[in-house]
Structure 1
Amino acid sequence: MKFAYTYSNPLLEQVPEPVSLGWEVDRVYQDVGKRLELQQLFKDCQINPPDCVFIRRLEELGDSVEEVTSNLSQFEEMGINLVAVEQNYNSATKAANTHANLLKLLHEIQQQKRSRRIRQGHARNRLEAAPPPGKAPYGYRRGKAKYTIDRSTSPVVKEFFDNFLLYGSLRGAVRNLAKKYGKKISVTTGRRWLSNPVYRGDTAYRNGEIIGDTHSAIISREEAAQVDRILRRNSRLPSRTASAKRSLAGLVVCGECQSRMSVTRVTFHRQNKEYIYLRPINCAKNKKCRAISYQKVLENTIKKVCSDLPLAVEKINYPQLDRVKNNLTEAIIHQQQILEQIPALIETGILDEETAKIRTYKLRTEISKLQAQLAILPPVNLRSVAQAVSIPQFWFDLSETERRFYFREFIRQIEIIRQDKDWDLRIIFIF
């Protein structure tokens, strides 16, 4: 007859399923949080001693080295073979009983216990939705139980986000920050700011889980969703073109040689005139594809957008999109309703305080995941936006920087279709 015993700390790990242990045993004793089943195991071993007891690691036998040593002695006194499968420990072998081997294992257990105590402390902070250890992100200060907005530095962060939302350029937002506030940050730091949940009022932990609405946010949910859309949009563009001055940079491809086309500017000696054109970067043809006037491509792009965008938006399956949004919204509401019931379950004694905290933490992280899925969906007013931007004068009244922002909201790629002595455009929208 063979028994198995496992201990799991609900703060640190998932409770293993008996079938996942891979041991052929007659009975599995499982403890979660407290070691009540371990005491039952000792009682059953005294009544009907098994041939062997399997455990994963020796430290599961107690919360301290002394407790582990005491429980090891109990198995030894009963003459029961104890096997720790993950530590290659078998009390029936002579090697396991050598003084040096036991000292080594006890030292390892001591190290593991110290590590687990630190992790347990961090896990308890997560259950309280407290900030993770370390310095508060720029724009915040550490409060007693949460981040608080730093009134002296938060305007700098808000200016950074506002500039990025206005122009869609990370490098431009970084330069603006240095110019306006004298705050110099790297592009890498700026990218971390844009994706950092803390500025949205959420707290992220090293295990990758996020709890929403833990403190005051610097940007709204709507602004955060727009930031994410711009970041996804810019990730499809060639390097550095996201902050280029010209609105068509990074979008145009030659349909003949399939090379991306760069914006080139030519000036004339002692004249104020300049000529801007688009030319293929890596044309592999013997007779290179000729350059095309930038202004003509721009005018034709605006014309095509005004005529094709409303038609492309009409093809979007809105009922399906609405169904996805409704399902996500209903799931969020359902989780929130469960969350509201927890205080009553504590009062009636159905849940104890620690279990309630764990359940609350899991519900809040699940709600954050659902909100993130909802935020990446297209805005519901896409049809009205398409109608508004289908007026040519709207585009011609914008600056190149503003046009760059709007073009990339709708356009994935602009393809030049070359003909004998002429050319045409084919616009590929992002939806």
Structure 2
Amino acid sequence: MDKMEKTILPQLENSRTAKRAISKLNISQKSQILNAIADALLKNIEEILIENKKDLERMDPQDAKYDRLKLTKARIEDIAESVRSVSKLEDPTGKMLNTKILPNGLLVEKKSVALGVVGVIYESRPNVTIDVAVLCIQSGNVCLLRGGSDAWYSNTYLVGLIQDVLESFGTDPNIVQLLPADRELVAELLTAVKYVDIIIPRGSQGLIDFVRENAKVPVIETGAGVCHTYIDHTADLQQAAKIVANAKISRPSVCNALDSILVDKEVLDEFVQRLAPYFEDAEVKVLADEKSYAVWKNQNFKNLDNAEQDDFGREFLDLICSMKVVNGLDEALDHIAKYSSKHSECIVSSDAENIANFMNSVDAAAVYSNASTRFTDGGEFGLGAEIGISTQKLHARGPFALEKLVTEKWFVTGDGQIR
């Protein structure tokens, strides 16, 4: 096809028809569809892995996105279990939010309704394809998925499975559609105000900035994660080492992984001594400020370098983190205020006043005391799954899940009233 002829208009038009189709499904039918999707995932694990391998073969294993792209039998089983979790959640639509009878006899009601057509732009995450699709189905929304070219084979197969399930239930398969990965077609999606109700970007800061700057359709951002953990002078340092190690090592390529350690100068030496074995085993690279560099060096820690200014406020998505020594809580709060992406921030402390001060002062979607930031996740928060972590303050903040895929609508019932 000639470049000038490329368009997603047919898919946009299909989404409008599909919106009517999904509005006819009740919560029981939608839950049955989700369970059938989970069954299809488990039944086709080998086929999914074959398609995923095609994508992996095109990517350098050293690329930070490689782990995000990779599917395994265990990961597919976890995705299927997440789908079943969403199927058990109550319908977020049709909730009565307000009702009153006016003096003129009009019955005025406000109810929750589906957003409509949700466009999601994301990178290298085939699990997002499933998460978004099932959340949209359960909340009565149509979704237009624009995944990255890196995951094209995986996404194509997964959307095919979902559409087969939808057809088997006698409903419109265009409730879930995968858009072409061609970059020149992104602008058409971002400006499709006649067809698309909301755009959600999920990925790098560059992707999010591009969508925000070029979209005419309203945008809900799911922000990049620049996550800090502050080690207070009152912290249980062995607990602190375990928390930091988990936040950095358990899955470094995700947005809720730790990026920067702030440590009170009073406990610097002992904390580094306790943390070093975890980081050595996992081969974590530390970019240390001048004070902490000397302490790491004394521990004979090899994977070490001097931190540059740009290493603070940086999302690493890899087994790398920065470290800075601070003089107390206020200096830690100042640093976080300057460099945070407002995603997830943590304090490890035994001082109730310091914990309260940190939790109330830090401007982030999720704040933690004495726990890993890796819990900022729709599934871990009991929301079934998520489309992403919103760092905005309008409509949704934190895990953007089923409960937020709705808007409001007024229903006014009269008996001949005129104004």
TM-score between both structures, scaled by the size of structure 1: 0.21
Q: Which structure dedicates a bigger proportion of its chain to helix?
A: 1
Between Structure 1 and Structure 2, the one with more strand by share is 2
- Higher-Rg member (1/2): 1
Of structures 1 and 2, the one scoring higher in RCO (CA 8 A, sep 6+) is 2
